[in-house]
A and B are shown apart, each in its own frame.
Chain A
């Protein structure tokens, strides 16, 4: 059972692992830059989930071809890919803002370590 189970689902298992790594980085790492890296990995795993969900074996990219006609089973579903494109744009914007905030934080506290920053915040009042 196990081999078939993994053979049929390995993309989803890899996506779940990636998501776990991302969430671990976001929550457990003390370094703010590593948290942002974790966030990016987490977002990427969601993009991959959409792409994998839209995958159809034997189908081609959703661009009209004369010889295939309008038969829907011959093309991959374009909608999840459009969603991923939009989500990537959103993700890039979030990462950009996060890095800008990271720079500001570093300039003010001289560290990227969350604990050190919190200690310096308390010291300065």
Chain B
């Protein structure tokens, strides 16, 4: 059983390689291998999760047999098990969705897209599992490179938007690496467990403070924390649905996870809250980001751009959980990682399905979809109920715990921000809902214009109705997930998250 931490990324790396080789001969074989890899690593993650929860112990694996402070170790503890299960789950769901979507949006690119997807998931899983701060950098860049490749197969503006993202990403990675350098030269080790033992003596060391600041800035750039979010809307706007459906739900979250990991398990308690006001800074930037993202989302006409701005706001909820730095607030932030991954994945996949069936990506053109794609739109309603935070969907509970955390910390401004932003997200999502369920024939003037528009459509032979099963099943799984995680959130919290936030006390 002890090989579980190493197996999760290795299976995916192997699948990426085999998928590329097989894909050159037969695209179907390439797809099948990549899907198998993702599915196998999901199963192994679930096994690991069960093992960790039932034993209460972290599973440690020393890479290549080198004993940890010297070699690199992989650690599957409660937080890592939580994250890898989520990452590989979203990975499998998007893989099921991918073939039809890629065939429609980026014909001829699928052979290289599948290995890139497997590499992206492998990189993210590696980031969560590694117990070594430099190894985390390597996996961060593996994930980033795979993401650049996936994003660049997008539309006309794709390569340009991706190049801008690449420059930001390289700067973020560079800052993180520089921070690792400062940390290594002052503490003399790269192993996270070893560091957490050594750093309490170095609390007042300037180099350690610089290291912490640089690492957090680097990760915040990758996480798209306001005001470092500016690359995000253009990237998502041009990205193929599959890329946005992987990157929006999990990639930014894994950077947030890395900050939480540094905060809880690497730097000594109090270092991020008192010695350096890092958590408070993240909290205030997040509060600003929540309002900024929600307000700009209202102003967008393109569905994907709206989701991108909404993501700027939603990732900031996780940041707010870090900012509160008390157990209940951080539980809210951690729960929101899963909730938002499910909801945003769902909404992006629905956007792709709508595009496949009607070619529409602009919100004003979405009129009448409630008639033509009823089941997809029911799933959409579940997604937005989650986004707004209506019980019993998952979104309600993470906001509820964040609110409790804000009360406990006496952070009344943040409390108000959460309430206001829920109202704002209600505004921008109900605007779409209203459009979708409006009768397309109720306004004669607009109908005639719409008919005229349909003739210009370059692909007039769109079959009507709900998307094919290979795209609808992932949507249905995610919609069910939004409700199930909401109903059973207390199970997740008591089995996993309470252990994770234990270093904060209380």
B185 sits at the interface (CB 8 A)? yes
Bound-complex Cα distance A50 to B159 (A): 32
B160 and chain A: residue at smallest CB distance: A105
Chain B proximity mask over A12-26: 1 for CB below 8 Å, otherwise 0: 000000000001001
B481 sits at the interface (CB 8 A)? no
Bound-complex Cα distance A66 to B477 (A): 64
Most A-side CB within 10 Å, residue of B138, B156, B166, B174? B174
B124 sits at the interface (CB 8 A)? no
Q: Are B167 and A97 in contact (CB under 8 A)?
A: no
Q: Are A49 and B181 in contact (CB under 8 A)?
A: yes
Bound-complex Cα distance A83 to B163 (A): 26
Q: Are B185 and A53 in contact (CB under 8 A)?
A: yes
Q: A97-B149, A101-B148, A105-B163 are in contact. Are A50 and B181 (CB under 8 A)?
A: yes
Q: Which residue of A42, A43, A102 is within 8 Å of B163 (Cβ)? A: A102
Q: Are A104 and B171 in contact (CB under 8 A)?
A: no
Tell me the count of chain A residues lying within 8 A, CB to CB, of chain B. 32
Chain A proximity mask over B440-477: 1 for CB below 8 Å, otherwise 0: 00000000000000000000000000000000000000
A94 sits at the interface (CB 8 A)? yes
Bound-complex Cα distance A16 to B199 (A): 26
Bound-complex Cα distance A116 to B22 (A): 41
Q: Are A94 and B141 in contact (CB under 8 A)?
A: yes
Bound-complex Cα distance A42 to B149 (A): 22
- A87 contacts across to B, CB distance below 8 A: 137, 177
Tell me the count of chain B residues lying within 8 A, CB to CB, of chain A. 28
- A36 contacts across to B, CB distance below 8 A: 167
Bound-complex Cα distance A97 to B471 (A): 30
Q: Are B174 and A105 in contact (CB under 8 A)?
A: no
- B163 contacts across to A, CB distance below 8 A: 32, 98, 101-102, 105
Q: A83-B134, A101-B163 are in contact. Are A39 and B170 (CB under 8 A)?
A: yes
Interface residues of A in 92-122 (CB under 8 A from B): 93-94, 97-98, 100-102, 104-105, 108-109, 117, 121
- B190 contacts across to A, CB distance below 8 A: 79
Q: Are B174 and A42 in contact (CB under 8 A)?
A: yes
How far is the CB of B317 from the nearest CB of chain A, in Å?
29
Chain B proximity mask over A40-66: 1 for CB below 8 Å, otherwise 0: 001100100110010000000000000
A40 and chain B: residue at smallest CB distance: B170
A32 and chain B: residue at smallest CB distance: B163
B157 sits at the interface (CB 8 A)? yes
A-side residues, CB < 8 A to B, are 23, 26, 32, 35-36, 39, 42-43, 46, 49-50, 53, 79-80, 83, 86-87, 90, 93-94, 97-98, 100-102, 104-105, 108-109, 117, 121, 124
